[in-house]
Amino acid sequence: MSWISPRVIRGNRGDIASRYCILSELIAAGVDVHVVFATRPEHVPSALRGRVVSYGPIYNLWPRVEGLRAFFRSRYVVWTGGLDLQDDSSLVKLVHIWIVFASYRALGLRILLAMQGAGPLTTPTGRWLARRVLALVDAALLRDRGSFELIAGLATQEKLVLAHDGIFLSGLSADSEEGFEQRAPLEARLRIGLNLRLWFHFASSWIPYQFARDRYRARAEESMSRIVDSLASLIRHLRREHNAEIVLLSMYEPDIEPWEDDQPLLDRLKVLFAEDDGVVLFRDDVTIESFASTIGRLDLMIGTRLHSTLIALRMGVPALHIAYTGKGRAIYCDLGLADWLVGIEELLDSPDLLIKMADEVLSNPDAPARVTRLVAKAVDENEKALRAAIARMEMS
């Protein structure tokens, strides 16, 4: 029975990595994934690179001829990772996914949500649309307890399974020999990754962010300037007290979605350390395997985008998350890492919180072993949940 993976992912390394791991696990389970929609073959495991087709217009609402043919040859849809069931960025997103899923059902396909997040759903319209979407789904593996509890009030609970993010599956390793991280750190320094994303701009609206960028960015500017200042203080501390090399990492591939890229904020940070060669911008356009390997060679990751920290954890690297929505807090609490989490509002109020947290992790020799234990448990639970869901879908 053939499976198809059609969710649109453009440039977002976190979603690419999550999909990569989910597809790798499907391959390991003997599932026939015969087509994946992607912008680049390198975004999927090597076994599937000859099966990649390009997205169609309106976020693949209307696939191109090759894609349409693939749907007619399929029986199941695996909708991989991400956070589509939410209304804080735009209600249009929920309308789009409802129409897309309805078209899949019209073709006779069954739908598996694999390691999806959910929330916030704060508006009556958002919750109504989420119910309509979930009514079209056959099974949903939800990546954290917060998502599960939210969706449990909107869908038949027999469809729902509590799991973890897709990154906690097979596929990625720290063995890639690509990437700038192969050079030795100067003076055998510690190497610490730092990611920062734009936030404070979303609001429940019918207008997606990408169609009102200036207004949304203006809304975010004051708070983001304070966050940049807080992280600059953190960098100065890490450089002074730990002689650490700081690697500024965007979670978007270069020049793919400039309006969503983290790079402008990282550039602002680098300008503050223009004369310091111990603060490095990572701009390389590399495969997802090499990007994960780059993170895997860090001693610590500090990230705002959730997957900058989840990839680090999957690679065995301690990671501190600056949580900007409930999804990060829920996932870190589920993993048993609530003490490695700081809310973005807390950081605004108390910039030294993150400095103290980083010092504690760097001084704790047991931190990597803690990561290894927690990740092994999450991977085992995820593998069992995904394989059981596949079996139920294919038997019914």
The strand pairing partners of 391, in sequence order, are none
CATH class of 180-363: alpha beta
Q: For the residues of 131-175, what is the DSSP string, one character each? A: HHHHHT-SEEEESSHHHHHHHHTTS-GGGEEE---TTSSSS--S-
Q: Kindly report, residue by residue over 64-118, the tens digit of the pLDDT.
A: 999 999 999 999 999 999 999 999 878 889 999 999 999 999 999 999 999 999 9
* Cα–Cα distance for residue pair 66/70, rounded to 1 Å: 6
Which residue, 107, 137, 81, 117, is CA-closest to 334?
Answer: 117
* pLDDT at 203 (0 to 100): 60
Distance CA 283, CA 40 (A): 18
pLDDT at residue 182, as a whole number: 46
| Distance from C-alpha of 125 to C-alpha of 128, rounded to nearest angstrom | 5
CB under 8 Å to 173, separation ≥6 — which residues? 289, 292, 293, 296, 315
Tell me, which fold does domain 2-171+378-395 have in CATH?
Rossmann fold (3.40.50)
Contact residues for 132 (Cβ-Cβ < 8 A; gap 6+):
98
Q: Residues 87, 142, 194, CA angle at the centre, nearest 5°?
A: 75
3-state secondary structure at position 198: coil
Which pLDDT tens digits describe the chain residue by residue (396 residues)? Answer: 699 999 999 999 999 999 999 999 999 999 999 999 999 999 999 999 999 999 999 999 999 999 999 999 999 999 999 999 999 878 889 999 999 999 999 999 999 999 999 999 999 999 999 999 999 999 999 999 999 999 999 999 999 999 999 999 988 876 645 544 444 444 557 999 999 999 876 665 666 666 667 777 777 789 999 999 999 999 999 999 999 999 999 999 999 988 889 999 999 999 999 999 999 999 999 999 999 999 999 999 999 999 999 999 999 999 999 999 888 999 999 999 999 999 999 998 898 999 999 999 999 999 999 999 999 999 999 999 999 999 999 887
For residue 209, the model assigns a pLDDT of 67
Give Cα 154 to chain centroid, integer Å. 24
The one-letter amino acid code at 188 reads A
- Domain ranges in the chain are 2-171+378-395, 180-363
pLDDT of residue 395: 84
In terms of residues, how long is the chain?
A: 396
H or E, element range at 302: strand 300-303
Rounded Cα–Cα distance for residues 371 and 228 (Å): 28
Q: How far apart are CA 301 and CA 358, in angstroms?
A: 9
- Tell me if the bond preceding 120 is cis, omega within 30° of 0: yes
* Inter-residue contact 327 to 145 (CB < 8 Å): no
